[in-house]
Structure 1
Amino acid sequence: MARSGGRSAADALPTELGVGEQVQASGPLVAVTDLRYRHGCSRTVFDIARDGAFLTAAADEVHRLLLDDLMERIEAELFTDPGNDAVVRLPPRHFPGVLIQGDSLSIIRGDIAEVVEACAQGDVDDAHEAATLLLATFDALLDRYESALGAHGIERPYGPRP
């Protein structure tokens, strides 16, 4: 990480920054300070200049606050409740999609890996069982998707399922 005159690159992780250093990230200036408590504990905090005011953030929040400047905020249409497998439409898409959370995506990937492993070992019965469970998972996703589309008068963007 390049440092000069007490300043660090904006992509520095909070754990790489030292007390007294500053970070410039497309506008906000971040100063790293040590916050000391009366009972002897301390924690590193970051004072972030944003919109003419200072925000104080802990190390685990500062990266998110800096990345807010790099993210685009958009409005999305929500067709179901906002939980797992939410059906949403992002601009400029014509049809909505299904939002799969990262942990759920990881579980699905693990299920596919199980099918691949069973096939590699020649265990057709285990592969079939795992694939059947995986198909049921995707059928449930499609059922939720198609239900949301129907509730909003939107035709499916694909033909009937086999």
Structure 2
Amino acid sequence: MAKQPGKVESAEAAKYAALSRDIEECRQEPGSTLDMLHAVQRHFGYLEPQAVGMVAEALGLTKAQLYGVATFYTMFFFEPKPPVIARVCVNLSCHLRGAQEILHTLEEAAKQQHDAFEVEEVMCLGLCEQAPALLVNEEAVGQVSAEEALAKVQACVTTING
């Protein structure tokens, strides 16, 4: 089934309109740079260049200055990513409680599902008391087995993909 250009264009226009509203809302707040960058990523899934330009204009900054800020943080993406990202903590607490098994299980599932989701290894989520821990998109999940982690990720993929 071919994509219908009108629907794709209107979906993109809706993203820019929603971002514009978010920018206006954030603009009055001092130190709103990160909030605006998060809004871009929330609407587009990554820091889409034209949308970053909108933020730069609103803040009176250059795109280069915004990218300078964004590159400091690991949670900003500069190219499109799958809609679901599982970040598995492999720091000491999580490692000792089975993080490597979770990481392996999720990586294998991602390959088998043709990259329906992405798996990232991270050093610390600040959830040591809930080890092993992971973030599925922005939701913290702790004290889980590899099978429970996979079920959580797959449920998120199903919800997003419909």
**TM-score higher than 0.5:** no
Name the larger-Rg structure.
1
The answer to which structure, 1 or 2, has the higher relative contact order (CA under 8 A, 6+ apart) is: 2
Q: Which category of TM-score, normalised to the shorter sequence, fits these structures?
A: under 0.3
Higher helix share: 2
The alignment's TM-score, normalised by the length of structure 1, stands at 0.20
The alignment's TM-score, normalised by the length of structure 2, stands at 0.20
Higher strand share: 1
